Amino acid sequence: MNEMNDTIMPEWLTLEGAARYCGLSTRTLESLVKDLHVVSSNVRMPGKSRGRRLLKRASLDAFIESGISGPAVIPMNVGREKQ
């Protein structure tokens, strides 16, 4: 088996990794997480106020695949600035 062709497909992706994976912007992904369309976890060390948001790849795939027979539902406020 050639190591150069071996690809590890992680179960959890960072926002940036998920954006590269699916082609959606990080802002759109954040909205999908907020509206519970995509499963995520905020991983942080005890006592720390900040962590790393990870998205479950399978839930992202499922959301994208939900648009195969019709448009995937994306919240209306995605990509719009608050006025």
- Whether 75 maps to a domain, the answer reads no
pLDDT in tens, 43-54: 999 999 999 999
pLDDT, tens digit (0-9, with 9 covering 90-100), for 1-38: 455 667 888 999 999 999 999 999 999 999 999 999 99
In a domain, 76, yes or no: no
Q: Find the helix or strand (DSSP H, E) in which 12 lies.
A: strand 12-14
What is the pLDDT, as a whole number, of residue 16?
97
Cα separation of 52 and 63, whole Å? 22
* SS3 assignment, position 63: helix
In a domain? residue 28: yes
CATH number of the domain bearing residue 22: 3.90.105
Domain count, the chain: 1
3-state secondary structure of 62: helix
Q: Which residues pair with 13 in a beta bridge?
A: 55
Both tokens of 74, joined, read 């994306």
The answer as to whether 4 is a domain residue is: no
In a domain, 73, yes or no: no
